[in-house]
Amino acid sequence: MRPEVLFPLFKTQSTLKGVGPKLEPHLERLTGTHVVDLLWHLPTGSVDRTFQPKISEAVSGIVATITVRIGQHMVPSNRRRPYRIMCHDDTGTLVLTFFHAHGDYLQRTLPEGELRVVSGLIEHYNDEIQMSHPDHMVKVEDIDDILRLEPLYPLTHGVSQKVLGKVIRASLDETKDLAEWLEPNYLKEQKWPAWHKALLAAHNPIEAKDLDPASPAHVRLAYDELLANQLALGLVRRGMRRAKGIPTKGDGKLRQKVIDALPFTLTKSQETSLSEIIADMASDLRMLRLLQGDVGSGKTIVALLAALVAVEAGGQAVMMAPTEILARQHLKTIEPLCQAAGLNCAILTGRDKGKARAGILEGLKSGGIHLIVGTHALFQSEVEFKDLKMAVVDEQHKFGVHQRLELSRKGQAVDVLVMTATPIPRTLMLTAYGDMDVSRLLDKPAGRQPIDTRVLPSTKLASVAERLTTKLDAGARVYWVCPLIEESEKLDLAAAEDRARQLKTMFGEDNVGLVHGRLKAKEKDQVMEDFKAGHISVLVATTVIEVGVDVPEATIMVIEHSERFGLAQLHQLRGRIGRGTGASTCLLVYQMPLGEVAGKRLKIMRETEDGFVIAEEDLKLRGAGELLGTRQSGLPEFRIADLEIHKELLAVATDDAKMILSNDPELQTERGKALRTLLYLFERDAAIKFLRSG
């Protein structure tokens, strides 16, 4: 149970003063749903409101806080004209200007003859000193609320700086001192404030340097977040380890049949990874292993051979993918190999209904189906296995730790193998997969073609299209990628549709297809099938083709606006070609002017095809928070910690978590109990389940 001291922080934001039904959805989009989410929304800039000149000393372009006597309200006869209020002190006149004003509100707030304090940007206009729409208008006794360095927060549509500042101050009022979870000597050595003090300091900067992510308050909060993450991973890992595994050993007969049916021999790293997995499965500890391999390194074959160990031992295996396209891709790879071994494999997605679905569920329950490939549909409660021994989860980051655990509960002490084609820099492996052992596929299977990558400006697109005509006449197949940027899905969709229309006029109506995220799965699959079968030669797509599409005949990839993509995404996209026997070319088309970071990114793409090198470079260029957009990369979303700035802290937090769990494995000491609070504070509740109560 969450400790009572945290109850106020996990109330919804609507419980705070000033958060009504109109504001709440905007706030939720910006920060999250709970009061605690506001605490982690730290300021990134500030306005200095401490300058208090007389009116005659107010300099244009400077923010000033001035005490004035309110004079005449000049109410306009036409609503389009500004509402003006004349204000004075003993040195001159200041005109407050309001557009689209509510006169009754202004008369209540700024009554004629009264003293008031106004704060805002000074402008000199037509020999007048003006302040348009002051940021603050308060009574003289409230001046201290304004005279400070005012924090500026990242905003979203529907939330103003003033409103957000008020709501965050209200959220800070809900906080109090918490028992210290950091080791006292380390805290003293670092000269960090206590948690509550650090939080208040981060939101109330006294000088500009207090806003720096390297300031003591910010660093303290970042360390807390990293420690919560590493401790949670340690607990999950230990919990999985502690849950006794069931040794799974096969006789190798089925594996041999599949290996004999392969049109190639396994690479050295495929063999090494497979032997690591087989050893894990044979031990009496549960397996939790990550198989990390670049695009096209042959992960699916390794996973299939590992799954066959479970089948040889009399059990079943499941292979789960985040999308239907990817699930069907896996099925296409493994079905003929399963047939060669005399095994029954099937697929289950959300699309399977009625009798077909009932037949699959029956086959799983009776053990008639040895291996099932599927999507989220596999989580449903009516999916039961006769004896599930092994679960393979592909592109893990599209699922959560909870879902991984849920899948493994479909059997007894199920061994779990997680696969990812996202090369993750070693620095970040700790934060995303610290609860797993790791196998890496470092070499590409034989037969993979090198890809000639070229970088060119969009002004050359017409000549690109012309050159493609020759290639298409010779039977080539082309991916043409248009970017999808979240802010403007409609615009991007239009861009992809426009491009498809233009290419149809050039290459023929029936020769060009279009896929994007808004197509229904059935329509999307149909277009992909047409492309695979060669009914269409050009596939215009948004980034939905990034993962798991295998068309060996496709040898050309055109990526428009390549400067908008992250390195890892460009690498994933490029990996869709070079899969057959033909020479392959990737054209990275950029829009001028090209920024410095984008330029470096495209240069790296031209120089290397090694996903691990690319991932390390991406981390250097963009920092972890932005690396591939955390949602795609399998990295936890840190709200305060920035892994580029705070990477030294990560190593310390990892060691600290290990030491805590070896000295106080159930978190029962005073510090241990405080650490439980820390886990709840950063919503790492799933890990608490691995502790004995107390």
DSSP letter at 91 equals T
pLDDT tens digit sequence for 107-125: 999 999 999 999 999 999 8
Can you give the pLDDT at residue 286? 84
Pairing of strands 584-590, 451-457: parallel
From the list 268, 251, 335, 341, the residue with the least C-alpha distance to 300 is 335
Q: Encoding tokens for residue 613?
A: 């090198």
Q: Encoding tokens for residue 235?
A: 């607990």
Distance CA 605, CA 423 (A): 14
Contact assessment for residue 289 and residue 436, using Cβ atoms and an 8 Å cutoff: yes
Residue 593 preceded by cis peptide, ω within 30: yes
Distance CA 326, CA 373 (A): 10
- Farthest CA pair distance, the chain: 98
CB neighbour list of residue 305: distance below 8 Å, 6 or more residues apart: 255, 258, 259, 274
Work out whether the CA dihedral 199, 202, 203, 205 comes out positive or negative.
positive
Is this prediction's pTM over 0.75?
no
Backbone angles phi and psi of 666, in degrees to 5: -105, 10
Contact assessment for residue 559 and residue 587, using Cβ atoms and an 8 Å cutoff: yes
Q: Encoding tokens for residue 428?
A: 């970040």
Distance CA 408, CA 402 (A): 10
Side chain identity at residue 243, one-letter code = A
DSSP letter at 174 equals T
Domains in the chain (CATH in brackets) are 4-45+168-211 (no CATH), 50-147 (2.40.50.140), 253-441 (3.40.50.300), 451-608 (3.40.50.300)
Q: Which residue has the tokens 């869709």?
A: 576
Low-confidence ranges of the chain (pLDDT < 50): 485-487, 547-548, 624-634, 693-694
Distance CA 7, CA 459 (A): 58
Measured distance between the N- and C-terminal CA atoms of the chain, rounded to whole angstroms: 10
Distance CA 58, CA 66 (A): 9
CA distances from 83 to 46, 80, 128, 579, 668 (A): 29, 9, 15, 68, 65
Q: Encoding tokens for residue 566?
A: 């992250």
Contact assessment for residue 236 and residue 418, using Cβ atoms and an 8 Å cutoff: no
Side chain identity at residue 471, one-letter code = K
| Long-range contacts at 200-206 (CB < 8 A, ≥ 24 apart) | 200/172, 200/175, 202/42, 202/43, 203/42, 203/43, 203/151, 203/168, 203/169, 203/172, 204/148, 204/151, 205/43, 205/46, 205/149, 205/151, 206/149
Q: Encoding tokens for residue 673?
A: 């109990």
CA distances from 43 to 52, 200, 390, 554, 627 (A): 24, 12, 46, 48, 22
Distance CA 225, CA 35 (A): 17
pLDDT tens digit sequence for 624-660: 434 333 333 345 578 899 877 887 898 899 999 999 9
Q: Exposure of 162 by Cβ count < 10 A (0-12 exposed, 13-18 middle, 19+ buried)?
A: exposed
Can you give the pLDDT at residue 63? 96
CB neighbour list of residue 23: distance below 8 Å, 6 or more residues apart: 158, 159, 163, 167
